[in-house]
Structures are given as structure tokens and as C-alpha cells.
Amino acid sequence: MRKYDSIIEVQNDLRSGVLNLPQLVRYYVSNINAKPQLNAFLEVWEEEAIKRAEEIQNRFNKGEAGKLAGMIIGLKDNICFKDHAVSASSKILEGFKSIYNSTVVDRLLAEDAILLGRLNCDEFAMGSSNENSAFGAVKNPLDESKVPGGSSGGSAAAVAGDLCLAALGSDTGGSIRQPASLTGIVGLKPTYGRISRYGLIAYASSFDQIGPMTRSVYDSALLLEVMAGGDEFDSTASHNAVPEYSKLLETKGKKKIAYIKDCLESPGLNPEVKQRIYQLIDQLKAEGHSVDPVDFPHLDHLVPTYYVLTTAEASSNLARFDGIHYGYRSKDAAGIDNTYKKSRTEGFGKEVKRRIMLGTFVLSSGYYDAYYGKAQQVRRVIHDKTMKVLEEYDFILTPTSTNEAFALGENTKDPIAMYLEDIFTVQANLAGVPAISLPLGRKQSGLPFGIQLMGRKFEEQELLAFSQKMMNQEV
């Protein structure tokens, strides 16, 4: 069977009859089984997916199928699907089955998407390499000695490795875009509040967003329009109207694009990546867009601000894992307090504990103002500065990651080196703006890297349309 890069191609072949949906599900299942070493899927819902494929095929034949008929999706293992296991790749959620659907799952199912299984990730979405999973590291399908990025590493590996057509990820500081960059796919983090987080296992609630990971901009747009919009179960979900992004992928007129000079001159940036960015800048200028360097004096403050705030929020969000209500309970605990402590100590992995500890520290009396309060103030400075750039410019162009995928084990000993993986992506989460990683870079090694565009809040339509243009014109 051929490899499909977009639902448009799938639906064309469904229409002409050269393909049927159960066949497509079996194709992905056989790809998953052929490469177990990737460790992308933690669970495959094969039987259920095939049964659903038969039903949707029937509806499709009658012209009654939803707009996602043919979309075969993997879910990051932190998104709830009723009566299915979900674990945030943590031992502490061993045996847990969701008792309700996340809003995104409800909306995908309503449009006839098929959910194929759940995808490995860094434990509680904390990591940049997918090496923090309780179920083992995920390998990059393009080079199995390399990481796929993280935290949505299983999602990225599954989409890049043709184990499904699309996947959902979640992005708190780059967890959709950085793995998209390292595996050569399209990863979109929507505006904060664009998609409901009801049913997403929380990491840092003032940052987390769910988003699509796909092989085409069109699929990204289509999934966004299905999932976006207000939700009575998530008061942070915006009620702003949701455009039909997939039908509005034509960009009009000349754009104003900013790039941050310090970011391209940063010593950690690989020269080939830098060269590619300047090449794209020249190309955009030649097409008549204006592309200017802008000052952004806070590059060094982005990741520290992110770590203070997200660890603080995580320490609070993860307090719910107590060994009592659900999940893992230590067998040899005596008394209630000891049950909490032993269950959490045995259930959480090392990086999660580190972040809970730092978060508890920055929130503790005596340190709150110096760290947590300070970081909230710096967040406003970063937010306002980013908004100011986006008042004048339509987009901000940066690399998504500093380089191609790194080797498994390369950064695991140094948490700070791992944290700096997020240097170009966290700005969008700190400011709440949408950002997309496009597979527009390739090193001489053959491995990909992504180009990131940030846009204005709730202007995903412009962002996606311009992304489509950039993908079409790739040289």
C-alpha cells in the first residue's frame, strides 16, 4: 500500500474504491508490528479500530461520513478516552482507565476519526527526548540511534514512521513542535485556550495546549477546526468563533515577518540550521515580504521563567496522585501519610520528582516572591514584548530546535542541557501565542530540523495559510 501524507489523498482513494478503511487500519497495524523497537505505541486498539473502520466505511459509501473519515489517529498517553487506559507514561497511573472522554476525543469521534492507540511520551509530559517514560525510550524512525524529541515523542515517531496518519500531542514548552522538528513533520501548538484541555492530564495549566501532529498543513488545519472552540468543561477554552481553517489555506498579500537576531547568533545554534534560516529569509524577501531583525533582549530568561512557573504548577497539579483515589498504591505503607509518600515515591520517576521538588521550593514560604512571583513578573515582560513585536509583524520566524535529533542518552545526565532544548519554543507558551513547526530544514546528515513560525493570538488561520505557502514553495 502507498504511504498517505494527507487525509485528502486517503479520501480520494476511498472515493475511487482503490482503498477501504479496514485495509488502511490493518496497514498501520502491520507497520506498528513491523517496528516494535520504535516503542511509539504503548497500546494498539486494533479490534475496536477495525470495527469502527467498517462502520465508517459504510457511512462513507452512503455519503454520510464525517469530515475526518479516513483520519487514523494516535493519542498521546495523557489524553483521556473513556474505558481505555491512560497513564501519562507513568507507573503511578498503572492500571488506570479513564471514566470519561476528553473533549478533543469527543469531537474527533463525532467527525468519524478512528483512534488507533495510545502513544508513549515523557512521564507527565516532562522532557525533551522521550527518555523519561516509565515504559522506555522512543526511537526516532529516521535514525534509530537518535531520540524523536519530546515530550510528544511517541506521537512524532508514529506520524514520521507511518504508523498512523496523524497524532495528538500536548505542548507546554515545545512538546509538540520540538519532536515535530526532530522527526520532520508538522506540529502545531494553538493559541492558549483555543482547544479545551478537559481530559488532558495536567502538567502546567497556564501553559498546556493540545495540538495536532501531522504530515501536512492541511491535516493540521482540519484537526484544529474540529477540536477548537468553547467547552463547558474547561473555563479557559475560548468561545471565539472557529474558522474553517482547512478551507482558508490561501494566504493573501505581502507579510511582515520578524526574526530575532540574537536567536540566530546564539552560540548553541548549529551553523547549517542558521544558514537555512538566512536562506529562507532571503527567499521570503525575494517574494516581496518584508523580513526584519528585531530586538528581543530576553532570550536568556525564557527557559528559566518557564522552569520556575511550570514546576510550581506541576507540584500543585501532581498533588492529586496520592495512592488513594486512583492509580498506584504502595504495598508496604503503614498509615495514611506514609501511603501518600511511599506511593508517590515509588510511582513517580526521577525527573518528575525533581520538578515537583523545585516547584514546591519556589512556592514555599520565604522563597515565593523571589522565585515564583518574580517569574510571573518576567512572564509579563516577555508576553508584552512578544505582543509588541506581533503588533507590527504578522509572524516571528525562528528555528524550532537548535539542531537535528541528538543521540539517545546524550543529554540525560545534564538536566540543564535538556532544558535548553526548549529555548526557541517556550516563548510561544509563555506568551500564549500559536506556533507551528514546519519540516523545512535538512542537515547534510539527512536528518530534518524544523522552522518555527509564531503568530498572533487566535490567528491560526493566517499562520496555517502562510505555512501552507512555505511548504508548497520549498526548494
Partner 1 sequence: MNTDRIMKIDKSTVVKIAELSRLELDEHAAEEMVVDLNRMLGFVEKLQEVNTDGVEPLIFMTDETNVYRADIVKDEVSQKDALSNAPKKDMYYFRVPKVIGNSD
* Contacting partner 1 within 80-109 (CB under 8 A): 95-97, 99-100
In angstroms, the CA 204 to CA 53 distance is: 35
**CB 152, min distance to partner 1, A:** 20
Looking at residues 368 to 387 of the shown chain, list those that interact with partner 1 (rule: CB under 8 A).
370-371, 373-381, 383
Instruction: List the one residue from 35, 298, 442, 443 that touches partner 1 (CB under 8 A).
Output: 298
C-alpha span between 238 and 217 (Å, rounded)? 23
- Residues touching partner 1, count (CB under 8 A): 72
Measure the CA–CA gap between 368 and 315, rounded to whole angstroms: 14
- The catalytic position among 129, 175, 196, 246 is 175
Q: Which stretch binds partner 1 (CB under 8 A): 102-110, 162-170, 335-343, 464-472?
A: 335-343
CB nearer to partner 1: pick between 75 and 362: 362
- Residues 60, 348, 393, 466: which binds partner 1 (CB under 8 A)? 348
Decide whether 245 or 328 has the Cβ nearer to partner 1.
328
159-198 positions binding partner 1, by CB under 8 A? 192-193
Is 76 a catalytic site residue? Answer: yes
Beta bridge partners of 146: 407
- Which residues in the 99-158 window bind partner 1 by CB under 8 A? 99-100
Based on the residue annotation, tell me whether 151 is a catalytic residue of this protein: yes
Sole binder of partner 1 in the list 18, 34, 110, 324 (CB under 8 A): 324
**What burial class does residue 325 get, using C-beta atoms within 10 Å of its C-beta: 0-12 exposed, 13-18 middle, 19+ buried?**
exposed
HEC readout, 134-163: CCCCCCECCECCECCCCCCHHHHHHHHCCC
175 is catalytic: yes
Give all strands of the β-sheet with 209-214 in edge-to-edge order: 41-44, 114-119, 72-76, 166-171, 209-214, 186-189, 435-442, 448-454, 395-399, 256-260, 290-294
Cell digits of residue 143: 535514525
Decide: 190 and 455 in contact? Cβ < 8 Å. Answer: no
Strand partners, 436: 188, 453
Q: At a CB cut-off of 8 Å and minimum separation 6, what does 202 contact?
A: 208, 317
For the bound state, the minimum distance from the C-beta of residue 383 to partner 1, rounded and expressed in Å, comes to 6
**Binding to partner 1 (CB under 8 A): which residues in 390-429?**
415-416, 419
Identify which of residues 222 and 375 has a Cβ nearer to partner 1 in the complex.
Answer: 375
Question: Between residues 274 and 301, which has the closer beta carbon with respect to partner 1?
Answer: 301
- Enzyme catalytic residues: 76, 151, 175
